[in-house]
Chain A
Amino acid sequence: MWHAIFEHVTIFISVLFCSIAVKLIDDFLDKDLDMQGGYLNFTKKFGDGIIIYAILSLTVAASINAFVSIPLFLASYSIGMFEDLKHPFPSGLSGMQESLLVFILGILLWGWQRMVFSMLFIFAIQLFDDYLDMYTDQAVGYRNLAYRLGKIECLLLSIISMLSAWQVGEHMFLPVFCSASLFYGILFFYQKEAY
């Protein structure tokens, strides 16, 4: 019983740190786009040095529970890069090739179940985020998934993806979901407060 509670707590905290790392890296990469859209951006606010805290945060997350946080980070990278299909990366590969490579690497290192769970979970969050930001993204000329698929289709696909993640990784879904929701909620209200 205590072991189960302890495991849930470690998952919860590690996902929280992993979310911080993903948010900081995302802000670092998208600072120009966020400036145009008027989004809250931590790189804009605290400078480029913030990327060090992203690495630190990911290291803490991996130290607490690597089995959950690292596949989630790899999935975030894979899904984030997949949108940038044509842009060439420093590795010389395209976004799609890098995404597939990271996904295969994730499966080899952490097993298919953890990796598929992470991909579905992050994809659901990405879709929900695009659903909320459809009009602001459109205003800066970025056609996100909600624009391309349709708003309701995007929301329904997000729910399906989240439920599928629950089906695949039943034992770790609740702490991951609670932690990600808490982080997303804090970010949402912090962004509201900032304007």
Chain B
Amino acid sequence: MLLIVILLMCTLLLGYCWGKHNGRVEGYEQGIVSLPIRLREQSFEQGYCMLCNNQLTNEPSDY
């Protein structure tokens, strides 16, 4: 009985470590993808474009 509990706890520990590692890798990848979009969104909200550093206007673009 005790041996089964020990095995279950070991499985829980391994599962936790695996999940944590996987979560870290996925979170990192997700962060890399979403960071430029988030930064651009924030710069637009503050009234400028982070790529060309120009102030935003309501005029249509020349390009």
Contact = CB atoms under 8 A, between A and B. Distances in A.
Nearest to B10: A160
Contact of B16 (A152, A163, A166): A152
A150 to B, nearest CB: 7
B50 interface: no
Contacts of B10: 160
B20 to A, nearest CB: 7
Interface of B: 2-3, 5-6, 9-10, 12-13, 16-17, 20
A167 interface: yes
Q: What's the interface size class on A, roughly?
A: 10 to 19
A150 B17 CA distance: 9
Interface of A is mostly: helix
A163 B13 contact: no
B31 to A, nearest CB: 20
Contact of B9 (A150, A152, A156): A156
Interface in A41-99: none
A160 B13 contact: yes
Nearest to A159: B9
Contact of B6 (A150, A153, A167): A167
Interface string A134-174: 00000000000000001011001101100110110000000
A167 B2 contact: yes
